[in-house]
Amino acid sequence: MSDRVSANTGEARAGGLLSYAPNILAIFRQCAGYVDKILKGAKPSDLPIQLPTKIDLIVDLKVAKTLGVTIPPSILARADEVIE
């Protein structure tokens, strides 16, 4: 399985222009750490809330071309995946 599995990558691959969403695999890894702490006796209420640490940006250039939209090079450079 790819490390680029985001909550909304399906939308980007199904015809969406952009997808900017947390990486699901990174969230699962964070959850595993929580489960480990709870199984070792930590109270869930004592554990801090964590935000996603990996956010993926996916750009679909086919859709951009169809819409007549130009994606700036700075966005393309930051994208984790560019669909051409």
Domain limits of the chain?
9-83
Nearest-angstrom CA–CA distance, 24 and 10: 12
Q: What is the largest CA-CA distance in the chain?
A: 56
pLDDT, average across residues 55-74: 93
pLDDT tier for residue 21 given thresholds of 50, 70 and 90: confident
0.75 surpassed by pTM: no
pLDDT, average across residues 62-66: 93
pLDDT of residue 84: 87
Q: Is the pLDDT of residue 1 over 90?
A: no
